[in-house]
Amino acid sequence: MKRILLLFIMLGLIRFTSAQDIHFSQYYAAPFNLNPSAAGLFDGKYRAGLIHRNQWSSIEVPFVTSSGFFDTKVLEQSLSTGFLGVGLNLFTDNAANGTLTSNALNIALAYHTYVDPEETSRFVIGISGGYQQKSLDFNQLTFENQFDDSGFNTSLPTGETGTSNSVGFPDFQAGLAFTSQVNEKMGYTIGFAAQHLTTPNESFIDNGAAKLDRRMIGHAELRVGLNENLSVLPKIAYMNQAKSQELNLSGLLGYTLAPSTTTLYLGSSYRMSTWDKNLGSGIQSDALIILTGIHYGRFDVGFSYDVNISGLRELSRGKGAYEISLIYTGFIEAISIRKQVPCRRI
């Protein structure tokens, strides 16, 4: 009975994930999955990053997601009022031991324009486009025609016709951001983005229609230096896609090991979400997330762990997901001579 219950839950999750997007608890470590305006929105000349997420391994059908990106600043000397950010982003998502697999590659372009003579504040508009491919392994699914008196019999034909195990489509995003360094101790960034602008069709049924709904995102962060050693970084991100909502409230405390620039981070995040407003009374508790990180030299390393506090906590035995992220930021002093607006990703 437990295995049948697990099967129906996972089929429901596959149906849900086929129409919704990946997400990360350390969403700030996967900037292009959040907003294409992130291209060039950092302190440095170029950067590269990786993030890996493993979710619900305790129920033997984990969701595994990995993403990587690279971006750089160009035309810093040619444009009198700003510069361009160019980025490349890819991700792969493996749901239920490969039953549903998604892969995507996107290129982002963002124009940064300074709004003050001191070049401490700038407005950013960004766009991105690419291609996404999804695959469904029907051999790992069971259907009504395969049910007999003894249970599910995978040797029986499925009775399903007119289906495809792969679908691909172009995909486009757009976003805005504003970032400012108010003074030596305080800065902030706010942004808005819209994803899947053309609502592409991702149906596995021939001539079927399953639109990938637009995803609307709003996010903000505040960077405050309390003294030479301590800093606080509150963050918020809200995402809405069809009937799915997600709200992340996060806070990090940073401690710099003077006289070095190495900084240790510790904090937490509270995530609320709903898959379908018809399934409950609006947005509800999802996970409590422990966040840790270190900034060392040109590297930022992050680790997080989700403690499941949703309605599925009994099935998952309270276990959620863990994430590991790594970002490297490079500088080319002879070229990058403009003033920088500090935007350390943690």
Residue-by-residue DSSP string for 282-336: SSEEEEEEEEEEEEETTEEEEEEEEEE-STTTTTTTTEEEEEEEEEEEE--TTT-
**Any bridge partners for residue 132, and if so which?**
104, 169
Residue 346 lies in a domain: no
Residue 338 lies in a domain: no
Whether pLDDT at 160 is above 90: no
Whether pLDDT at 60 is above 80: no
Note the pLDDT tens digit of each residue in 289-304.
999 999 999 999 999 9
pTM of the full predicted structure? 0.84
Residue 245 lies in a domain: yes
CA atoms within 13 A on the CB side of 74: 10
Note the pLDDT tens digit of each residue in 242-277.
888 999 999 999 999 988 889 999 999 999 987 544
Looking at this protein, which amino acid is placed at residue 121? S
More confident residue, 255 or 284: 255
More confident residue, 92 or 16: 92
Give the other-Cβ count within 10 Å of 345's Cβ. Answer: 22
Whether pLDDT at 313 is above 90: no
Going by C-alpha positions, the residue among 182, 190, 188, 282 that lies closest to residue 240 is 282
* Domain ranges, residue 293: 2-330
Mean pLDDT calculated for residue range 44-73: 87
Residue 158 lies in a domain: yes
Residue 344 lies in a domain: no
Please report which confidence band the pLDDT of residue 59 belongs to, taking 50, 70 and 90 as the band edges: low
Residue 184 DSSP SS3: coil
Mean pLDDT calculated for residue range 162-190: 92
Query: For residue 90, what are its two tokens?
Result: 């890819």
Residue 126 lies in a domain: yes
Of 49-63, 150-164, 194-208, least confident by mean pLDDT is 150-164
pLDDT of residue 286: 86
Please report which confidence band the pLDDT of residue 113 belongs to, taking 50, 70 and 90 as the band edges: very high
Q: Which of 112-116, 157-161, 258-262, 334-338 has the highest mean pLDDT?
A: 112-116
Query: Do the Cβ atoms of 342 and 187 come closer than 8 Å?
Result: yes
Query: Do the Cβ atoms of 3 and 11 come closer than 8 Å?
Result: no
- CA 74 to chain centroid, in Å, comes to 25
Torsion of CA 26, 28, 31, 35, to 10 degrees: 110
Looking up residue 31, the CATH number of its domain turns out to be: 2.40.160.40
Q: How far apart are CA 100 and CA 137, in angstroms?
A: 7
Q: How far apart are CA 271 and CA 323, in angstroms?
A: 15
Q: How many domains does the chain have?
A: 1
Whether pLDDT at 45 is above 90: yes
Whether pLDDT at 56 is above 80: no
Mean pLDDT calculated for residue range 342-346: 47
* Averaged confidence pLDDT in the chain: 84
Residue 323 lies in a domain: yes
Residue 125 lies in a domain: yes
Q: How far apart are CA 44 and CA 83, in angstroms?
A: 13
